[in-house]
Chain A
Amino acid sequence: MSENKKSSTGAVMIVGGGIAGTQAALDLAESGFFVYVVESSSTIGGVMAQLDKTFPTNDCSMCILSPKLVECGRHLNIRLMTMSEVEKVEGEAGNFVVSVRERPRFVDAEKCVACGICAEKCPKKVKDLFNGGLGVRKAAYVEYPQAVPLKYVLDEQNCIYLKNGKCRACEKFCPTGAIDFSQKEKVHQIEVGSVVLAPGFKSFDPSSMDTYGYGKYPNVVSSLEFERILSASGPFEGHLERPSDRKAPEKIAWLQCVGSRDSHPNAHGYCSGVCCMYAIKEAVIAKEHAKQGLDTAIFFMDMRTYGKDFERYYDRARQEAGVRFIRSRIHSISTAAPGSDDLRIEYVDENGTMRVEIFDMVVLSTGLEVSRDARALAQRLAIELDSGGFAKTNSFSPIAASRPGIFVCGAFSGPKDIPSSVMEASAASAASAALLADSRNSLTRSKTYPPEDPSVHAEPRIGVFVCRCGVNIASVVDVPGVRDYARGLPNVAYVAENMFTCSQDTQKLIIEAIKEHRLNRIVVAACTPRTHEPLFQQTIREAGLNPYLFEFANIRDQDSWVHQGEPEKATAKAKDLVRMAVAKAALLEPIEKLQAPLIQTALVIGGGVAGMNAALNLSAQGFKTCLLEKRDELGGHALEVARTWKGEDVSAYVAELKQRVLADANVEVLTGAELVEAGGFVGQFTSLVKVGGGHREIRHGAVILATGAEAVEPVEYLYGQSQRVTRWHDLEKLFKKEPELLDSAEGVAFIQCVGSREPERPYCSKICCTTSIKQAIDLKEKKPDLDVYILYRDIRSYGAREDLYKKARGLGVLFIRYNADEKPVVAKTSVEGKEKLKIRVRDHVLGFPVELTVDYLNLATAIVPKGLDELARFFKVPLNQDGFFLEAHMKLRPVDFATDGVFVAGLAHYPKPLDESVAQAGAAAARAASVLSKPWVEVEPIVSIVNQELCIGCGMCEANCPFGAIRLQEVKGKGYRAETISASCKGCGVCAASCPQRAIDMKHFRDSQILAAIRVGAGGGA
Chain B
Amino acid sequence: MKVIEHLLDMAKIDRGRVRLRWVSAAEGQLFANYIKELSGELSELGPFDPSRYSLQLSAIESVLNSPRVRWLIGMDRQVTERGNVYSRKVDAAVFEQTLRTVCEAEYQNGLILELLRSGPKTVREISETTGIAVKDVSKRLVDVEKMGAAELSGYEGCSPRFMRTAA
**Which residues of A line the B interface, CB within 8 A?**
562, 878, 880-881, 886, 898, 954, 956, 959-960, 994-998
B10-18, B74-82, B122-130, B146-154 - the one binding chain A: B74-82
**For B32, what are the chain A residues with a Cβ–Cβ distance below 8 Å?**
562
Within 8 A of A (CB), among B64-86: 65, 67, 70-71, 73-75, 77-78
Q: Which residues of B contact A954 (CB under 8 A)?
A: 71
Contact of A898 among B25, B67, B73 (CB under 8 A): B25
**CB within 8 Å for A996 and B67 given contacts A562-B32, A956-B74, A960-B74:** yes
Q: Do A956 and B24 touch (CB < 8 A)?
A: no
Bound Cα distance A960, B73 (Å): 11
Interface size class of B (residues with CB under 8 A): 10 to 19
Q: What are 10 sample pairs from A and B whose C-beta atoms fall under 8 A apart? A: A562-B32, A878-B25, A881-B26, A959-B74, A994-B73, A996-B67, A996-B70, A997-B67, A998-B65, A998-B70
Partner of B75, one of A886, A956, A995: A956
Q: Is the CB of B65 within 8 A of A996?
A: no
Contact A956 B71 (CB under 8 A): yes
Beta-carbon nearest neighbor of A886 in chain B: B26
Q: Residue B25 contacts which of A562, A886, A956 (CB distance < 8 angstroms)? A: A886
Closest to B68 in A: A996
Q: How far is the CB of A252 from chain B (nearest CB, A)?
A: 27
Query: CB-nearest residue of chain A relative to B77?
Result: A960
- The residue in chain B whose Cβ has the minimal distance to the Cβ of A991 is B74
Contact (Cβ within 8 A) A996 B25 = no
Residues of B within 8 A of A881 (CB): 26
Choose among B65, B70, B77, B78 the residue with the greatest number of A CB atoms under 10 Å from its CB.
Answer: B70
Q: A996-B67, A997-B67, A998-B65 are in contact. Are A878 and B74 (CB under 8 A)?
A: no
CB < 8 Å: which of B24, B26, B65, B70 contacts A994? B70
Interface string of B24-47 (1 = CB under 8 A from A): 111000001000000000000000
In the complex, the chain A residue whose C-beta lies closest to that of B78 is A959
Contact between A878 and B77, CB atoms less than 8 A apart:
no
Closest to B75 in A: A956
Classify the interface of chain B: helix, strand, loop or mixed: helix
Least CB distance, A760 to chain B, in whole angstroms: 17
Say whether, besides A997-B67, A998-B65, A878 and B24 are in contact (CB < 8 Å).
yes
Given pairs A878-B26, A996-B70, 12 additional interface contacts (CB within 8 A) = A562-B32, A878-B24, A880-B26, A881-B26, A886-B25, A898-B25, A956-B74, A959-B74, A994-B74, A996-B71, A997-B67, A997-B70
Chain A residues within 8 Å of B74, by CB: 956, 959-960, 994-996
Of all chain B residues, which has the CB nearest A990? B74
CB distance from A967 to the nearest CB of B (A): 16
How many whole Å from A243's CB to the nearest CB in chain B? 35
CB distance from B29 to the nearest CB of A (A): 10
Could you tell me which residues of chain B, from 43 to 65, have a CB within 8 Å of some CB in chain A? 65
Nearest-Cβ distance from residue A334 to partner chain B, whole angstroms: 42
Question: What separation, in Å, do the CA atoms of A994 and B72 have in the docked complex?
Answer: 10
Return the chain A residue nearest B66 by Cβ.
Answer: A996
A995 and B24 contact, Cβ closer than 8 Å, known pairs A562-B32, A959-B78, A960-B77: no
Q: Which residues of A contact B24 (CB under 8 A)?
A: 878
Task: Output the nearest chain A residue to B48 by Cβ-Cβ distance.
Answer: A1018
Chain B residue with Cβ nearest A880 = B26
Contacts of A998 in B (CB 8 A): 65, 70
Cα distance A562–B33 when bound, in Å?
12
Nearest CB in chain B to that of A878: its residue: B25
B 100-125 contacts with A by CB, 8 A: none
Which residues of B lie under 8 Å from residue A997 when comparing CB positions? 67, 70
Residues of A within 8 A of B26 (CB): 878, 880-881, 886
Q: Which residues of B contact A994 (CB under 8 A)?
A: 70, 73-74
Contact of B70 among A886, A959, A995 (CB under 8 A): A995
Q: Which chain B positions have C-beta within 8 A of A959?
A: 74, 78
What 4 pairs between A and B have smallest CB-CB spacing?
A996-B70, A956-B74, A994-B74, A996-B71
When distances are taken between beta carbons in the complex, the residues of chain B under 8 Å from A898 are 25
Q: How far is the CA of A562 from the CA of B34 in the complex (A)?
A: 13
In the bound assembly, the distance between CA atoms of A954 and B68 in angstroms comes to 13
Minimum CB–CB distance for A518 against chain B, Å: 38
How distant is the Cα of A1004 from the Cα of B152 in the complex, in angstroms?
A: 45
B65 cross-chain contacts in A, Cβ below 8 A: 998
Q: Which of B26, B67, B74 has the most CB of A within 10 A?
A: B74
B73 — which chain A residues lie within 8 A by C-beta?
A: 994
B25 CB contacts on chain A under 8 angstroms:
878, 886, 898
**Nearest-Cβ distance from residue B137 to partner chain A, whole angstroms:** 27
Q: Give the chain B neighbours of A960 by CB distance below 8 A.
A: 74, 77-78
Taking CB atoms, residues of chain A closer than 8 Å to B77 are: 960
Q: Which residues of A contact B78 (CB under 8 A)?
A: 959-960
Chain B contacts of A995 at CB under 8 A?
Answer: 70, 74
Residues of A within 8 A of B75 (CB): 956
Expressed in whole angstroms, the Cα–Cα distance for A881 and B26 within the complex equals 8
Least CB distance from A397 to B in Å reads 34
Complex: chain A residue closest to B27, CB-CB: A881
Q: From residue B87, how far is it (CB to closest CB) to chain A in Å?
A: 15
Q: How far is the CA of A491 from the CA of B5 in the complex (A)?
A: 37
Q: How far is the CA of A994 from the CA of B25 in the complex (A)?
A: 25
Which residue of chain A has its CB nearest to the CB of B67? A996
- B6 to chain A minimum Cβ distance, whole angstroms, is 17
Which residues from chain A contact B70 at a C-beta distance below 8 Å?
994-998
Q: Which residue of A lies closest to B70 (CB)?
A: A996
What's the Cα separation between A187 and B75 when bound, in Å? 72
In the assembled complex, the Cα of A283 lies from the Cα of B17 at a distance in Å of 41
Closest-CB distance, A881 to chain B (whole angstroms): 6
CA of A880 to CA of B24, assembled, Å: 10
Query: Within the complex, what minimum Cβ distance (angstroms) separates B74 from chain A?
Result: 4
Provide the bound-state CA to CA distance between A995 and B70, in Å. Answer: 7
CA distance A960 to B65 in the complex (A): 18
A284–chain B nearest beta-carbon distance, Å? 15
How many whole Å from B83's CB to the nearest CB in chain A?
12
Tell me, in angstroms, the Cα distance from A995 to B32 when the chains sit together.
33
- Distance (Å) between the CB of B21 and the closest chain A CB? 16
Docked pose: A954 CA to B78 CA in angstroms? 13
Q: How far is the CA of A64 from the CA of B41 in the complex (A)?
A: 36
* B residues near A562, Cβ cutoff 8 Å: 32
Q: Closest residue of chain A to B73, judged by CB?
A: A994
Q: In the assembled complex, how far is the CB of residue A711 from the closest CB belonging to chain B, in whole angstroms?
A: 24
Instruction: Name B69's closest neighbour in chain A (CB-CB).
Output: A996
Q: How far is the CA of A996 from the CA of B71 in the complex (A)?
A: 5
**Residue among A880, A881, A898, A996 with max Cβ neighbours from chain B (10 Å):** A996
A440 to chain B, nearest CB (A): 34
The CA-CA distance from A324 to B77 in the complex, in Å, is 55
What's the Cα separation between A562 and B25 when bound, in Å? Answer: 16
- Cβ of B90 to closest chain A Cβ, rounded Å: 15
Q: Which residue of A lies closest to B65 (CB)?
A: A998
CA distance A604 to B77 in the complex (A): 35
Chain B residues within an 8 Å CB radius of A880: 26
Expressed in whole angstroms, the minimum distance between the Cβ of B10 and any Cβ of chain A is 21
- CB of A986, distance to nearest CB on chain B (Å): 15
Q: Which one of A562, A878, A954, A994 has the greatest number of beta carbons of chain B within 10 Å? A: A994
Q: How far is the CB of B17 from chain A (nearest CB, A)?
A: 13
Q: Which residue of B lies closest to A888 (CB)?
A: B25
Q: A678 → chain B, closest Cβ, in Å?
A: 21
Nearest-neighbour CB distance to chain B for A394, whole angstroms, equals 36
Tell me the nearest residue of chain B to A994, going by C-beta.
B74
Distance, CA A996 to CA B68, complexed state (A)? 8
Report the bound CA distance from A562 to B26 in whole Å.
16
Q: A995–B71 Cα gap in the complex (Å)?
A: 8
The chain B residue sitting closest to A557, CB to CB, is B28
Question: Shortest beta-carbon distance, B33 to chain A, in Å?
Answer: 12
Q: Which residue of B lies closest to A960 (CB)?
A: B74
A606 to B95, CA, bound (A): 45
Kindly provide the distance from the CB of B53 to the nearest chain A CB, expressed in whole angstroms: 14
State A886–B73 Cα separation when bound (angstroms): 34
Question: Whole-angstrom distance from the CB of B30 to the nearest CB of chain A?
Answer: 11
- Report Cα–Cα, A8/B65, bound state, in Å: 64
Shortest CB distance B50–A (Å)? 9
